[in-house]
Chains A and B, each alone.
Chain A
């Protein structure tokens, strides 16, 4: 499935969360990552994140799409990053 993850996290922990997310998803822009992810990996990611964040202060939202068939990605301005199989 396809996931879009956005976060708002205290500066003290933000780097840790970013590093964790990068293992599973591709960075799109500040505080946003996206990419194809399996059920198992999503579970792993959620566990890893919840170990880092402080539930009183931080917030992470994951939007899940079963497929991207009916979605469209429109960009205004710069395209900073995303999922691409070519480098």
Chain B
């Protein structure tokens, strides 16, 4: 793919020769970085406000200590901002502030949950980050690692198209990451019935699925771009008379994506991740081919898979029953979703106020799966709506990056990445609000957990890289000299 050299004027009357990537209609001077900086300050004001409210409510006094956590976060976020200034100066200015707001709220709220577990005396002794066993401290460290990873990605990947080269390496990496928990013994891979971890005894655990998601996205983007033309012509039922070889080539991607999803569901007992992988593949094949019939075929296959899962995997059946009638067994099977609804309902329109609710009632999972419901009690419908708007903003700016960028690979990758944020948010938020059956996925940037935080910051890194490419103004080469302007050469005789 080479970008078309659109003969449009850039900044002046001179016909411009565009560079390979970049938009010719963008003036060079305004690269929106100052907008990003101002929005970042706004987002830190929001995070600081929340931190002050939490401290005032939980500790009963507001002092400068409440600003320490936002201050520490500011170092990370401004660091990311500075890195963008140098490494992706034309990137979309909304992405970083939106992500920083959610991530900042996450750390402050996890700090609030830490405090909720402590007695009043322990709270005062806990200090800014809560010392040992504090999830807020770990979440802050993970955020730091994630942002370092984000910067490193921008540093190393200067042109997103280079990633296309690693399509098959990505596939291999992705499959290993997906399969590892399935083949590892339960003691090294199973937490709360879901076999989707790699547990390194004494060190910690990572959720390889979060990283596999990115690897598979990179692979999907590569093969779908490669086979785009081919995939566009198949799928019509008239082509079913084609040769077996043709059929295999045409349907192999869809079938293998289906099998991988089904495998994740069967062997790792993880409905959420399975849904995420398959949903991403469907959206990407649709973007690549613009053929709705692929989505139709995919949905039929998904329903077959879901029905099989419903029959075979008792966990799935249970989830559906609990979804339909959570209040039938409010103390056991329905406990989590019931507590989630009670928390959300107690929050109502305006919420109890940061620090003034009882989010710790959501038990062990208040900081992970149920973080959205837990925070919902304190910030209410208005606060949660604002959060949803931020997610929608990230996703739509991601798609915007796909629209802006000129190469198919970039478009496909941006679309897939943006949709991964959407789908993940939809599945977990829909789950804890009883819109759909509950499946365990992390709420991007908000839930406690390093794997998710790092993986999602890498996704933002990729989106920023693509949006930088899409918004970069065309390099204006010096126009070729016209003969009439050339100085007359004095020829010595």
The reply to whether chain A is a binding partner of chain B is: no
Which chain A residues have a beta carbon within 8 Å of chain B's beta carbons?
Answer: none
